[in-house]
Structure 1
């Protein structure tokens, strides 16, 4: 269709993208980035691994206009079935499996978001914060507000499943 994702190595480190991953046209994947099966990077997303690795787990989605970057000593790991909402900024952090990072949220170096957690839209998770599994985190600076309900956890799963299906549809649409 005339546009492709910008995928390039730097400093001898090349991206490793599973054949079942989707990289939208206009997404940027630079350096030591690994995208596992079913992972997706959406329109305008930038994953820049020029200071260490970024690993995006299976069936995780990095939505439109997100910025993911690392610093020396602060690699990034995004677990499986994670949704990173539009315009989020993640920097040198760890997001464990089955999380949702809300639109416009920021997660800084060394922070760890425990499995099954939800970071609210526009939240600022400060450097080094450790969020217990299954938590709702909100605010500037972010604070753990309460445990997630079963309904909220089911919503995270549904969102991730929807993005896996959307990625397949978009990949097929751009294949022609």
Structure 2
């Protein structure tokens, strides 16, 4: 399913194959030879998404850009089932295994591997060829690779990240933080009420445009 969002329509190369149950919304460019499988969601929430040639997005994966963080994915990258990439820049020939999580502002270099259920935290920078082991966490610049039981070390490596402020525009010390966050974020997401569903040729599905 294709959607126009905030006046922008997906641009999909003729040789790309998009499953009918995938969702592609907004300012998304998908290059030649790409495969987007069933249940995948690629949504540009105020920022663009660019996917290079021969990228495979497997079942139920999520790629999401924001106004603060665009997404770029280099060619010949594989994004595994249930993996998610939010506002990150990804190089060429990268492998994201099932359940990998890549967060806003991360930079993932060429030929990296992020293995099953591993996490690349906000603003982490992975040099080319880095391997993040199964379930481990990559954090910081220069990057540290830490096992999930090292929660104190993980927290110490990222005290300045301010997730609510950077991602949602709400200061962490705001009274009623979650009230402010959900109302502001909900208002932004409500713009999807004006989305226009497109047919396979990129025309408005209901208007014959």
Q: TM-score, normalised by structure 2?
A: 0.65
Aligned equivalents of 2:84, 2:127: Cα separation in 1: 20
Matched, 1:30 2:28: no
For residues 80 and 101 of structure 1, the distance between their equivalents in structure 2, rounded to whole angstroms, comes to 13
Q: Distance in 1 between matches of 2:28 and 2:10?
A: 5
> Match for 1:48 among 35, 43, 50?
43
Q: Which residue among 93, 97, 103 is the counterpart of 2:98?
A: 103
Give yes or no for the alignment of 1:141 onto 2:156: no
1:14 partner SS? coil
Deviates more, 1:134-143 or 1:75-84: 134-143
CA deviation string 1:32-79 (max 9, x = no partner): 000000011110000011221111110001110001111212000010
Tell whether 2:50 aligns with 1:84: no
Partner of 1:129: 124
Asked if 1:115 is matched to 2:110, the reply is yes
1-side partners of 2:66 and 2:12: how far apart? 21
Please tell me whether residue 61 in structure 1 is matched to residue 56 in structure 2. yes
SS in 1 for 2:48: strand
Contact 1:104 1:123 (C-alpha < 8 Å) held by counterparts: yes
Aligned-partner Cα distance in 1 for 2:45–2:114? 26
Decide which structure has greater strand share.
1
5+ residue gaps, structure 1, are 1-5, 146-176
Give the aligned CA root-mean-square deviation in angstroms: 1.2
Measure, in 2, the Cα distance between the counterparts of 1:50 and 1:72. Answer: 7
Contact 1:29 1:48 in 2 (8 A): yes
Larger radius of gyration: 2
Runs of 4+ in 1 over 6 A off after TM superposition: none
Find 1:10's aligned residue among 5, 24, 37.
Answer: 5
